[in-house]
Chain A
Amino acid sequence: MADLASFARKRLDDFRIIVGSTSGKVGLGITLAFLVMVFFAPWLAPYPPTERFPLAYAPPSWAHLLGTDDIGEDLFSQLIWAARGSFIIGVFAGAIATVIGTSIGLISGYRGGRTGEGLMRFTDVVLVLPLLPLLIVIASIFPANVVLVIAVIGFLSWPSMARVIRSQALTLKTRPYVDASKLSGMNDWEIMLKVLLPNMLPLVVLYGVYAAVTAVVIEAGLDYIGLGSVTNLSLGSMLYFALSRNALLIGAWWWFVPPGLLIALLGIGFILLGHSIERVGRVRS
């Protein structure tokens, strides 16, 4: 019980540090807003995203906050569903990259020796494979599939993270508490997972957040140039439809401006939150 109470108090302190700064407040606010969209999209969207109204290219109004597209669909509702799609893609791809990058960085840094060297050279090789051209090649060979795209982005965007985590592990393993844990009979895996990992968690979050943002931007780009899966509604496929159905020439800015703004907003929200979590780590240590 005492353990739980002290744990809760610590987390509350962390939360206070995050909310204590402007960037932390903004980052947390934006991220929470996106989470609300992810979980409550059906209730937040005023209309089903494919319901057609007899209004083509209607500019924003109270009935349609972001106007309508060429076949009279409500764009505000579409935007909410698209943001949900992009958020989920970013989180999954970012999570894959984070798990791989952290594991390889930790093992390579803590174990060192031949294992560490080998893992780092493997990291160097993956680091220089150009992601976007590879994604385009894959998209034109295999049928459009969002899971495949998430997997490819996740499996290729971990190397820079692995390098950072490795150098952090190299620093942390010389600390006295690591020796103490060794003497208390912990094996290597326990030390890595229970001693080193919790200490570098803020850094893991920071780099994971950058990976997620990159994933959102790249995946939406693939959708935008028409090589993504059209059945999956993302901010990129919304842009794709806007461009291919002449929103630019008609001047329907309410169609192609909001999706890009939302990508940028998701990015800044994630990154600000990541930086304030990383600051918590620095304050604690």
Chain B
Amino acid sequence: MPRFRRSLHLPRRLRGSYLRQRILVSIAAFFVAYLINFILPRLEPGNIVNVIASSDLLPLQRQQLVQQLGLNQPLWNQFLKYLVDTFGSFPPSFGVSFAHYPLTVWTLVSTALPWTLLLVGVSQLIAWPLGVLLGAWLAWHRGSKADNAMFALSNVMWGVPSYWLATILIFIFAIQLKIFPPSLSTSGGATTLSAGAVVNILGHSFLPILTLVILNMPLQALVMRNNMVNILEEDYVMAAKARGLRQRTLILGHAARNALLPSITNLALSFGNILSGAYLVEIIYSYPGMGYLIEQSALVRDYPVLEGVFFVSAILVILANLLADISYLYLDPRVEY
């Protein structure tokens, strides 16, 4: 009886081709995102010039700007320049921001990224264990009133918009009760790492994190519960039951252990949704992560930054999915590809 289905019945020879295929798909996705980035703004080329060149620019200045941006060159040359801009240096600069001239896109993105990762990381570190515990408990009591109620609740959470929940929490805790600050990640320029700065950052991150935990926890619980219920119906669990193992041993020793890792995989697979939710929450709280950056750039039509954030978001989602696919290899012998 397998206690831990870690390796797989996939022949070694096929494992390599599966890995190769997943990596190729990731590279293809990376290039599709890259091409989208290049093509989209150039479908409306007039816009770019109108946006950056304010009306009080002299025609000559306007022309210089167009030349400087290379927008008067043939598409092919623009693409070459685009390639050089992206891969010519490391870290890639992704060009220069229009709104924060002369800062590069990379400077802006690499300042915003840690905030987003902090928000997503901490909220998942709280939501995932709680969800797993709740899911295991629900699987134990499957079919009970609590189980049904949780199923309903997690479906309600699917429809509750993150941005609206964020608004309600701001209204209650920041405006009515004045417990937490309504926006920004720090106040008073707390940049040095001291106890005060940490408290400051935590105070400002509390509401955004709470929003994401409330939204994600029930979904994690449902995934864990369904995984466990499926495992409890499998033959080897039945056999263990027939041998007279106690429910407690069955749940904790077999089902929970085997359901835990697929639930991590599921976390990686739903990373795109988690990121979207976090971006919207950041925007509502003016929390200086990637979501806030892309929204602020959209309002002033700062195309290079918009593209940079989209591209880095795509890379994050692609990597998360690749990790999930690779982890499948070691978890589920019935992997289908």
Residues of A at the B interface (CB closer than 8 Å) are 23, 121, 124-125, 127-134, 136-142, 167, 210, 213, 216-218, 220-221, 224-227, 239, 243, 248-249, 251, 253, 256-257, 259-260, 263-268, 270-272, 275
Contact = CB atoms under 8 A, between A and B. Distances in A.
B28 interface: yes
B280 A226 contact: no
Contacts of B40: 137-138, 141
A142 B44 contact: yes
Interface stretch (B4-12, B136-144, B161-169, B224-232): B161-169
Given A142-B44, A210-B158, A263-B159, A137 B321 contact: no
Contacts of B152: 23, 268, 272
Contacts of B336: 167
Contact of B161 (A138, A221, A271): A221
Contacts of B167: 239, 243, 248, 256, 260
B146 interface: no
Nearest to A272: B155
Given A128-B314, A221-B280, A248-B175, A227 B158 contact: no
A267 B158 contact: yes
B147 interface: no
B159 A134 contact: no
Given A218-B276, A264-B160, A267-B160, A130 B301 contact: no
A260 B299 CA distance: 24
A227 to B, nearest CB: 6
Nearest to A260: B164
A23 B336 CA distance: 33
B164 A259 contact: yes
Contact of A271 (B44, B155, B276, B321): B155
A139 B298 contact: yes
Nearest to B311: A133
A131 B276 contact: yes
Contacts of B43: 141-142
B147 to A, nearest CB: 13
B28 A125 contact: yes
A137 B293 CA distance: 12
Given A125-B32, A260-B165, A263-B159, A133 B309 contact: yes
B294 interface: yes
Interface string B290-301: 000011011101
B276 A140 contact: no
Nearest to A263: B161
A148 to B, nearest CB: 12
* Interchain residue pairs A-B with the least CB separation, the first 9: A267-B159, A260-B164, A132-B276, A140-B298, A133-B310, A130-B313, A124-B25, A264-B159, A125-B29
B283 A130 contact: no
B108 interface: no
A249 B317 contact: no
A132 B274 CA distance: 11
Contact of B159 (A127, A213, A248, A253): A213
Interface in B253-297: 272, 275-276, 279-280, 283, 294-295, 297
13 contacts: A23-B152, A124-B25, A125-B25, A130-B316, A133-B313, A140-B298, A218-B276, A225-B283, A225-B295, A248-B167, A248-B175, A266-B159, A267-B155
B280 A248 contact: no
Nearest to A259: B164
A132 B280 contact: yes
Contacts of B28: 121, 125
B321 A129 contact: no
A28 to B, nearest CB: 15
Contacts of B279: 132-133
Contacts of B168: 256-257, 260
B77 interface: no
B47 A127 contact: no
B52 interface: no
Contacts of B212: none
Interface in B67-125: none
A278 B171 CA distance: 39
Given A121-B28, A129-B33, 18 more contacts: A124-B25, A129-B317, A130-B272, A131-B276, A132-B279, A133-B279, A133-B310, A136-B298, A136-B306, A137-B294, A167-B336, A217-B161, A221-B280, A249-B175, A253-B171, A256-B164, A266-B159, A267-B159
A141 B159 contact: no
A260 B211 CA distance: 14
Given A141-B47, A227-B298, A129 B163 contact: no
B285 to A, nearest CB: 12
B317 A130 contact: yes
Contacts of B165: 260
Contacts of B160: 260, 263-264, 267
Contacts of A265: 159
Given A141-B41, A256-B171, A251 B156 contact: no
Contacts of A221: 161-163, 280
Given A140-B306, A142-B44, A260 B295 contact: no
Given A140-B301, A248-B175, A256-B167, A128 B307 contact: no
Contacts of A124: 25, 29
Interface in B29-55: 29, 32-33, 36, 40-41, 43-44, 47
